[in-house]
Amino acid sequence: MAGGKIQKKRHQQAPQQQRWGGGVPFEKSKGQHILKNPMLVETIVRKSGIKPTDVVLEIGPGTGNLTKKLLEVAKSVVAVELDPRMVLELNRRFQGTPHSSRLRVIQGDVLKCELPYFDICVANIPYQISSPLTFKLLAHRPAFRCAVIMFQREFAMRLVANPGDNLYCRLSVNTQLLARVSHLLKVGRNNFRPPPKVDSSVVRIEPRRPLPPVSFKEWDGLMRLCFNRKNKTLGSIFRQKSVLSLLEKNYKTLQALQLTQKVQMEEDKVSSEDVAVLANMVEELGMGNKSDEKDDEEMEVEDTDMVGEVSEGSSFKDKVLGILRQEDFAEKRAAKLTQVDFLYLLSLFNKEGIHFS
């Protein structure tokens, strides 16, 4: 029409899917966030301290950006990948290259498959498997030298948290019992394609050798009690009727069985199966006990009801509280105790025949 304006129709474009060179889209539901910053990849490899004789385990290799750098410095790389499309892309990328003979790709779920021997683990993992994978690695035998892993930042900070830190929780104390954990570097979300919703951190995990001579069933039982409300004093926690009743039941059962010192020593032997006990609690841990402070407030009234005297078990209660008075444990809080403190406290209880499993 004369004098009229011609309106151009704007076609709405469908949201673009993140794809790699082969044209296959990434799946965020599988935690597929590929490192795209080459400088960051080189930094991670350098901080891993890989030797020319090392076998490296990579979990979630994706399209192989990190894999390529690992193959340049390691003897060989074993890559575990769940997505068959990624496996195909990885094999295509290195087919016919000098690296192909030193790369072994395992298609499967890393939490379910049996891991081969490796010296070092380097991984940018799907964040939803952080807890179970950490404890599966720590239970692996023979023990590896170190693992350098990309975690969601909050999870990473819980791993490395120290007594007194807000993020210090059962995850912190259980991991640090089995390994030395250190924070290497913070990684912004824009270093990934597609970018995740949160920042990340790279953490170094070095298994302790030898492991502490402790029954992990006993250890986990004590940690469950102490960190149920980590900001309560231990005296307050162990005065609860439910706690005293549980411990007294264990105490009487072991006495009835006349547990010998020899049997107890057998229970305390360390094995990979013992370490797996700590992995059984990962679903409960999640990101750690975020609700500790809230639970303290909500359970205040319940504590008052439960603190009352146990008529038949008053002597047992005195025994428990007598143990806690040593080194003033009764006035201390789990949130500020170290692994050494907990190991000593557990030994005091076990010495008196009081057990947590």
Residue positions in the annotated binding site for S-adenosyl-L-methionine?
33, 35, 60, 81, 109, 124
Across the chain, which distance is largest between two alpha carbons, in Å? 105
**Contact indicator for 195, 148 with CB cutoff of 8 Å:** no
User: What is the rounded distance in angstroms from the CA atom of residue 298 to the CA atom of residue 144?
Assistant: 43
**What token pair was written down for 253?**
């059962």
C-beta neighbour count of 250 within 10 angstroms: 16
Q: What are phi and psi of 231, to 5 degrees?
A: -95, 5
Q: What percent helix, strand, coil does the chain show, rounded to 5?
A: 50, 15, 35
- For residue 348, the surrounding DSSP H or E stretch is helix 339-351
CA-only gyration radius of the chain, Å: 26
**Token code pair at residue 56:** 């490296």
Residue 163 corresponds to which amino acid? P
User: Which residues define the annotated binding site?
Assistant: 33, 35, 60, 81, 109, 124
Peptide bond into 142 cis (omega under 30): yes
